[in-house]
Structures are given as structure tokens and as C-alpha cells.
Amino acid sequence: MNHIEDDIKLAYLIAIGILMIFVIFIIFVVLMYNKRQILFLKEKQLKESEYQNQLLQKELEKQKSIEKERERISHDMHDDLGAGISALKLQAEFLKQRAEDDNLKNDIDELLKTSEEMNISMREMLWSLNAGNDTLGSFIDYSKMYAQNFLKKTKILVITESENIIEETAISTEQRRNLFLCLKEALNNAYKHSQSNQITLSFIQNNHEFMMKISDNGIGISNERPEGNGLRNMKRRMQEQNGHCDITTENGTHLFFRIDL
């Protein structure tokens, strides 16, 4: 009887031992599987990271290539078109000195005026193409200079102000170009229609948000008058840059242009 009980105990012990070995084996297999899965995921992440780095490198090379092309076009325009316009102005001024007919002199004056407008437009394009100007500081400085030059022969006083501007903040070429075109349109409208004697040009930065505000103390815009093409174009330009263009007409006209940098 004792012998049978010893055999049963031994059988139990062997069964428990086998069960423990089986459990340990299962745990070992699970741990090895998890380890292999972790290694697989790490390898996958590493490959994805390398792929993203390759894409980033290609994008950087593409951007450098675009910047080089912009610089080349800028230099070509400056050397070829700039020299051509200067030669045209000199020739027109020489002809004006020799001309005796008043009508001919008036025509030459128109030619000189056109060449000067072309020269200004070319300088604006060169500024727009130059990648070195893709900062808020550059945009604001150029905008102030343009506003002062545009209105210097008028009776309109230009006041400029800046708030929380970090000059080194990057701004894309497209944002810079569209904001500048909105500025030109707004100043031209104020000059033609506002009957104001003062324009305030404000630049405000709030972290990654940038706002340009153009205010005049003129007669404002009548609610009965529909939006003109100029205002529609300004709103469209801001929408294309995922920005906003708002207008108020209390005590003059106030235009607000907002973009995320």
C-alpha cells in the first residue's frame, strides 16, 4: 500500500515537473517572440527613419536648387534688364535735349516715366526672388520703404509701427510676395479713394501669427458700394496662403491681413 502511494506521489511530482517545464517553455517562447517583435519594430522604425531622412535630404537639395535658380534669374534680370532700362533712359534723355517739338518732348517724358515704372517693377521682382529676404525683418523694412516712396509726393503722412517683431522669423517667398501685393493694392486704394491725410502701417507678431494692418483716417467705404476687384483680390490672396483679410470702416478704413508663419 505504501509502495502504491509512493508511486502516486512520484507520478504527481513528475506531472507537476512536466507542467512547470511546459509553463517555463511557454513563457520562454512568449519572451522570445516579444523580443523578436520589438527588434522587428525597431528595425522597421529605423528603416522608416532612414527613408524619411532621405526624403528630407532630397527636399533640401531641391530647395537649394530652387534658390540657386532664383539667384541666377535675379542676377540675369539685374545685369540684362537693368542695363537695358538704364540705356533706354539715357537715350530718351539725350533725345529730349535735342528735341524742339513740344509734342515730341511730351512723348519722351512718357517714355521716361514708363522706363522708371519698369525699373521700379524690376526692383520689386528682384527683391521677391532673393531668398535672403525671406524674413519678417526684411519684409517689414521693404514695406516701410515702399510706402514712404509711394506717398512721398502726396499730402498723406505715413506712420509705421511694429509690435513684438522677431526680425529673423522666417516667412515663405509666397507669403511675402502676396502680403506685399496686398500692401500695394491697399495703399493705392487709400491714395485714390480715401481722401485721407494719414495712413498708419502696423506690423504685429504673436508667436507664429503675423498681422499687417493698414489704416487711414479718410471717408471709409460705403456699405452700399459693392466690393471692388481690389478687395476681392486681397481676400483671395490671403485665402491662398491660409490667411485672412478683414476690413472695418469705423473712423476711416482699416485693413487686417493675418497669416500663420
Q: What is the CATH number of the domain that holds 206?
A: 3.30.565.10
Average pLDDT taken over every residue of the chain: 84
> Is residue 249 in some structural domain?
yes
Note the pLDDT of residue 225. 55
> Is residue 226 in some structural domain?
yes
> Is residue 193 in some structural domain?
yes
Domain count, the chain: 1
> Is residue 12 in some structural domain?
no
Dihedral over Cα of 69, 70, 75, 80: its sign? positive
Note the pLDDT of residue 27. 86
Q: What is the rounded average pLDDT of the residues 50-66?
A: 81
> Is residue 92 in some structural domain?
no
Q: Is the pLDDT of residue 243 over 90?
A: yes
The parent domain of residue 194 ranges over 134-261
Q: Do residues 188 and 227 touch, judged by C-beta distance below 8 A?
A: no
> Is residue 210 in some structural domain?
yes
The Cα–Cα gap between 74 and 96 comes to 31
Note the pLDDT of residue 105. 81
> Is residue 16 in some structural domain?
no
Q: What is the rounded average pLDDT of the residues 138-165?
A: 93
Q: What is the rounded average pLDDT of the residues 80-109?
A: 78
* pTM > 0.75: yes or no: no
> Is residue 205 in some structural domain?
yes
More confident residue, 210 or 22: 210
